[in-house]
Homo-oligomer: A and B are copies of this chain.
Amino acid sequence: MTKSSESPSQRTRLKRGHERGDYKKQTIHDILKAMPLCHVSYILDGAPVVTPTFQWREGDHVYWHGSSASRMIRKSTDADVCMAVTILDGMVMARSAFHHSVNYRSVMLFGKASVVDDPEIAAKRLEGMIESLYPGRWDMLRPMTDKELKATTVLSMPVDEASAKIRTGQPIDDDEDYELPIWAGVVPVQLSVGAPIDDPRNLEGVTTPPHATGFKIG
Contact = CB atoms under 8 A, between A and B. Distances in A.
Contact of A181 (B97, B126, B206): B206
B177 A199 contact: no
Contacts of A209: 183
Contacts of A50: 39-41, 48, 50, 82-84, 108
Interface stretch (A21-29, A56-64, A134-142): A134-142
Nearest to A126: B97
B201 A184 contact: yes
Given A50-B50, A144-B96, A190 B194 contact: yes
Contact of A192 (B54, B81, B180, B190): B190
A86 interface: yes
| Contact-residue bracket for chain A | 35 or more
A47 B110 contact: yes
A121 interface: no
A91 interface: yes
A217 B208 CA distance: 29
Contacts of A47: 11, 43, 80, 82, 110
A133 interface: yes
Interface of A: 11, 15-16, 37, 39-44, 46-52, 54, 66-67, 69-71, 80-84, 86, 88, 91, 93, 95-98, 100, 102, 104, 106, 108, 110, 126-127, 130, 133-134, 137-138, 140-142, 144-145, 148, 151-152, 170-171, 173, 177-203, 205-209, 212, 215, 217
Given A50-B108, A51-B108, 4 more contacts: A16-B69, A88-B191, A187-B196, A189-B191
